[in-house]
Amino acid sequence: MQKIQNPKPEMQNVVGRQPNGMLVLRTQAMPKDANPNGDIFGGWVMSQMDIGGGLLAQEVARGRVTTVTVDKMTFVRPVKVGDTICVYADLIHIGNSSMDIKLEVWAKGLIEEFEEQRHIVTEAIFRYVAIADDRRPRRVPDNPQFPRHENNV
């Protein structure tokens, strides 16, 4: 992957990169989610990722799930008030009771409303565990829509 040399923060992006996975959530960053400088809190972005990833995990697990780990997250571009963020999810592993989902957040500024260019904000791998009503782990059921692959055993 080729990176732009000495990019301005608002232009920091991997050249030619496109979102990977299915769109699971789209929302607009609002003033209540920002610091006094108008930058959206990273925790808010992470919560949107968890919501989007959780939706996919619940569909795969056909029921209740809980988040157990989040792999390293690095923010490469700030999100501003008014930006639209999109969370993309890619199911990368189904275990006995757990699922690993790679999540990417892409943003587009309000003034770029009619442009298609989005910028990567952050990405991470979230691990979800299927849980029963007693909140103990349960097996992820076979789901023909999300088959287990040989490397996902």
**In 10 A of CB 126, how many CB atoms?**
24
- Give residue-wise pLDDT tens across range 14-65: 557 889 999 999 999 999 999 999 899 999 999 999 999 999 999 999 999 9
- Structural domain tally of the chain? 1
| Assigned domain for 85 exists | yes
For residue 7, pLDDT over 80 is answered with no
> What type of residue sits at position 48?
Q
Helices (H), 63-147: none
For residue 1, pLDDT over 80 is answered with no
| Assigned domain for 151 exists | no
| Assigned domain for 15 exists | no
Phi first, then psi, for residue 41 (nearest 5°) are -65, 135
| Assigned domain for 11 exists | no
Using CA of residue 137, residue 65, residue 132, residue 94, what is the dihedral sign?
A: negative
- What is the CATH classification number for the domain harbouring 97? 3.10.129.10
| Assigned domain for 13 exists | no
Q: What is the pLDDT of residue 149?
A: 63
Between CA 40 and CA 67 the distance in angstroms is 22
- Give residue-wise pLDDT tens across range 69-86: 999 899 999 999 999 999
2-6, 33-37, 105-109, 141-145, range with the lowest pLDDT = 2-6
| Assigned domain for 9 exists | no
Residue ranges making up the domain that contains 112: 22-135
Tokens for 117?
Answer: 């260019």
Mean local confidence (pLDDT), 86-103: 97
| Assigned domain for 152 exists | no
| Assigned domain for 107 exists | yes
